[in-house]
Amino acid sequence: MKAQNLVRLTTKLGLLSALLITAACTTGATSQTPTDSQPELTPQTPTETPVDWFAQTQRQPNVQFNVQRQAGTCPQTVGLWIFAQGYEGGADHTVVADTQAIASAPAKLIASEPKRVEYEAPLNSEYVSCVGQAKSEQLRAYTFQFRDGKVYFQMDVSWADGYQEIMYKGVSAFRPYIHWRAEE
């Protein structure tokens, strides 16, 4: 029983840390490191521009999918944050789709099955005409589709062997996230 409680605690802490990182992320930001022109902890005088400490915590998605355009104006890429915590015989995965970068409103859950989840979000005016898709052979569980003025993000592991379970799903910081487990 204690081992199950430890696994639950570890899973919840992993999800919480991923969500906190995601909440600090915004589009178009790059990670910054202190330089001579941007001191670490120097006091500011009232005439100086204050350092944006929050901006220094922002991160880009760690995976970019190329968008294959079929029609309209499409983004070149769409981002995904992928966090994994391995353990003997399996791993917990948390994925967060950066739909906020291309959407005009938060994503919403439109389909949920034991091994498949789908979200949609309306595209911003620049990309509303986009028809296309973004996927990867290496990360085939995740796909983005662009059609009807919306972006659809889907995770589907129904094709995979072994045990997979979607533990949590939702929207945080306007972005869809999925926390799932895979075991041998």
Structure tokens at 73: 């104006």
Give the number of other CB atoms < 10 A from CB of residue 146: 27
Q: What is the pLDDT of residues 5-62, one digit of tens each?
A: 444 544 454 544 444 444 444 444 333 334 443 434 444 444 455 555 555 556 889 9
pTM of the model: 0.70
pLDDT at 14: 52
Task: Please say if the pLDDT value at position 178 is more than 80.
Answer: yes
Q: What is the pLDDT of residues 78-114, one digit of tens each?
A: 999 999 999 999 999 999 999 999 999 999 999 999 9
pLDDT at 167: 95
What distances in angstroms separate CA 106 from CA 35, 151, 175, one per listed residue? 35, 11, 6
Q: Which residue has the higher pLDDT, 39 or 157?
A: 157
Q: Cα angle vertex 27, ends 10, 63, to 5°?
A: 55
Question: Which secondary-structure segment (H or E) carries 6?
Answer: helix 2-23
Q: What is the pLDDT of residues 120-149, one digit of tens each?
A: 999 999 999 999 999 999 999 999 999 999
pLDDT at 106: 96
